[in-house]
Amino acid sequence: GEFDQMDRVLFDLARTPFSRRIMTNTYNFDDLHEMHLYPCAYSCTYNVTDDRRKDGRLTLNMVLNQRSQDVLTANNWNVCQYALLLMMVAQSVGMVAGELVHMIADAHIYDRHVDIVRELIARPTFEAPRVTLNPEVTDFYAFTTNDLLVENYQHGPQVTGIPIES
């Protein structure tokens, strides 16, 4: 049968992990006329390195390509969602998640966001939380939000009222 993109990634990683052709691409030119906003993050390329851990697992890395990013409203979201995707894919194929490299062609902060960004930069910082997945889940499609484990998450007050225009 025909594979969808994620099925192909999982199949290839399990059978030919060192291939340089393991990727997804969500930029569909035929559908752009139906979109209010063209896709920003559009492709992931997977790369396996043989720096095996003591348990013998290979390391899965990912390169995320993004054409444009509103840093204030999207950066944290994009980094978190693709880091989690990398973790899920790695666990599904018996590997350990390695590096996420995030390439952004046009990262920008809008003039109307500058004061908010300055406020955020001036705030106290916290240690990063520990993020893991339920180790019992090995089927990519079986993960649920309950399988995401976040420990020691600390944060400041939420920023609200960010002006968004497309």
Q: Which residues are catalytic?
A: 40
Q: At what angle do helices 71-92 and 5-15 cross, to 10 degrees?
A: 50
CB-based contacts of 7: which residues, under 8 Å, 6+ apart?
none
Q: Which pair of structure tokens corresponds to residue 89?
A: 């894919």
What is the DSSP pairing of strand 23-25 with strand 130-133?
A: unpaired
Q: What are the backbone dihedrals phi and psi of residue 67, each rounded to the nearest 5 degrees, phi first?
A: -80, -30
């106290």: which residue's tokens?
Answer: 124
62 CB neighbour count, 10 Å cutoff: 24
